[in-house]
Structure 1
């Protein structure tokens, strides 16, 4: 049996199979979204379309890893730079989205929850601007 490591939790799994940690993660993440308006938003076709646009915009890479860690990694999660709990009207704003690996997504949320809220938002906005300038991207 050929195995690989899960990119999210590090658990050893058989090649070609999916780790069940993602199911657990989505259930836990869903608990945080007790707001039915947000639940409806995250399951909407409009969100799926803007999510796909964000992935394409960033060439499917995590620009946080690219600039901060000097690593080229494919993203896994589209993240709202300014959380929609704070600014609902920015939920579909492409310039408020960034594509991250799951581990960087956790890092970003932890930093925001531990007193670095404004610093993280400024940093992510600067990374987005740098990426767009460096690769001559216009929305």
Structure 2
């Protein structure tokens, strides 16, 4: 009798030599392809971000994003949200890795909220850009929506 184990995604019984069941294996391959596509696209974003960062004049914020406090908080957020984009998880019912951590209430608006655990949400770069567009259209509604996602993740609603 061959050794068996459970598929880590759907809990179906599979041969111990397989990582996933056939169904989940297809999904994993598709997700990996999406991640590779995103990483390729981000190469362009890195150059754009480098140019943007060079032109910034807000020295206090720049120091903050290089601080030990911020590095520790990022690790806390990554662990709390399992390293995934919470927006995509709830809005698109997909699990994708995060790229950046978004301040729901921007640091420019409230310096004291910069390290508040429930003011930070991990998102993909495309979602981050989408959120900033939403902020231009209706900032309060976008912030409310993000706070609801945080509450949902933490089981508060």
TMscore range, shorter length:
0.7 to 0.9
Aligned twin of 2:111: 88
- 2:135 match: 112
Q: How far, CA to CA, are the matches of 2:55 and 2:133 in structure 1?
A: 14
* In structure 2, distance between residues paired with 1:9 and 1:120: 28
TM-score normalised over the length of structure 1:
0.79
Higher helix share: 2
Alignment match of 1:121 (pick from 143, 147, 150): 143
Superposition pairs of residues 1-139 of structure 1, within 5 angstroms? 5-7=36-38, 10=41, 20-31=43-54, 33-113=56-136, 115-133=137-155
Please tell me whether the aligned partners of residues 8 and 103 of structure 1 are also in contact (alpha carbons under 8 angstroms).
Answer: no
Pick the structure with greater CA Rg: 2
TM-score by length of 2: 0.71
Kindly provide the CA deviation profile for residues 56-107 of structure 1, in whole angstroms up to 9, marking residues without a partner as x. 1111111100111111111110110110100110001111000001110110
Moved more, 24-33 or 55-64: 24-33
Mark the CA change 1:33 to 1:93 in structure 2 (over 3 Å): closer, same or farther: farther
How many residues are aligned here?
A: 122
Unmatched runs of 5 consecutive residues or more in structure 2: 1-32
Where relative contact order (Cα < 8 A, 6+ residues apart) is larger, the structure is 1
Q: Distance in 2 between matches of 1:9 and 1:111?
A: 25
SS in 2 for 1:46: helix
Pairwise CA RMSD of aligned residues? 2.0
Give 1:8 shift.
5.0
